[in-house]
Amino acid sequence: MTFEGLLAFIGVLVAVLAIARPVQRRSLSLFVPMWFLGAATVLSLILIVFREAPLGVPPPFRWRLDLVLFGLTFGAFVLPVGAAVWSWISWHRAKLTGNKLGRVEDVFQAALREREFDEVERILRKNQQRLIHLPAGAATVLFDPAMVEALLNSHSLVHLELLGNVPFLRSLENRFAAVDVVTRALLRSGVSPLRSAVVSMYGGLEHLVYSDAEQALIEKTFQNPEWYFDASAHYPLVISAVEELRSGKYDSSYNDVGRDYEASQGISARSRCPIYLAAKTEVLAIKTALEAGVDRDFYVTDLWDIFRSVQERSRFDRSVWESPLSNSEFPTPYAYLLYEIAGDLRDLSATAVKTSTSKTDAPRVEGPRRLAKDLALTWSFCVWRIADSEGQVARGFRNQKQDNRRISGIHARTRLGAKRDLLRSDAGCRGTGHLA
């Protein structure tokens, strides 16, 4: 290494810092100790000076002069190059240790300003197990809606993966805000494991691949009762759907012919509808809880809130409801939503009855569990609200729902027959306001 070589090395370092984007510069300053590079450069300069200066001092310990010169040259080369290699390794590993956790917020903020999030994703993936100590300020920036949406649209599910880590979720000072931001983004994005889960179960988008990774992530989060309660995931689902309805922006199209919305082939409009996706996500979460034998307050009335909000926006237009272009069963998208939510509650009620019925051969009736009661009562609310509606749906639609007041799919010949009377009294009687 010569003076010229050392100057060239310094010039390369300066050029790298000069051409780096603001996000990369902050990342380098976070993971690469600049003092180390500076110290290596200064030591290299000292070795070059000792080698080149005419000091007239003989080598110590009677070492051979040529070996001393070689050692000085080799050391002057290895020190800066080794420091550069070590710095690159440190940057590549991107370990958030010590005070780096407190400084990573600078990188997140720069990424938001520049709208460049590749470095953020890289840092997050390298430190998923260390982020439980992330400061509140950095977590707030990390779950900024702009950052979440940008990474999600680039097919990165890193934010949901982070929230799926229960220790990290519980470490967040405001975890409900983080869950709210991510859930809203999932309901609206074209890249969403929530949509994949719903479509794989109910159809509406041909050729969509529900990957094993997406399925594992959904089963770890929205279809995991423990996580669902810890994250209070039901709330952003229901409030997002109600807000969409309250805005009124769907009223014109959702009170028109709904063939595109209900389509089972091609790309249906419901596969991009946040209202539909929110309702079905809650249905799948409740279904998973029933299958797992979880009996808690699962906020079943969220489906009632969505149902009621849909009904309030629905309008009966004879030219649409009786149009030859309409499906006579559910002519409009709003009618389809009403039909689906009521049908899902009915099916969930039947499932709850089956899971809460004694498995013995004797047709013995046990006390109904809480979730079964909530489902039956919520279903009855939906049925009676439709039956009493005026000017929102056609008479035939009202009569159809009124005729479905009982769980007719439960046959008396089975050991579930004893349960039917229980649900008839609870879900089929108007205005009880409680379940026995």
Distance of alpha carbon 273 from alpha carbon 201, whole angstroms: 16
Q: For residue 376, which of 435, 416, 419, 292 has the smallest C-alpha distance?
A: 435
Is residue 97 within 8 Å of residue 127, measured between CB atoms? no
| Least confident stretch, 276-285, 404-413, 424-433 | 424-433
pLDDT above 70 as % of the chain: 85
pLDDT band at 55 (very low <50, low <70, confident <90, very high): low
pLDDT at 368: 53
Q: Which residue has the higher pLDDT, 178 or 43?
A: 178
pLDDT band at 396 (very low <50, low <70, confident <90, very high): low
Q: For residue 235, which of 187, 191, 273, 200 has the smallest C-alpha distance?
A: 187
pLDDT band at 432 (very low <50, low <70, confident <90, very high): very low
Tens digit of pLDDT for each residue in 142-192? 999 999 999 999 999 999 999 999 999 999 999 999 999 999 999 999 889
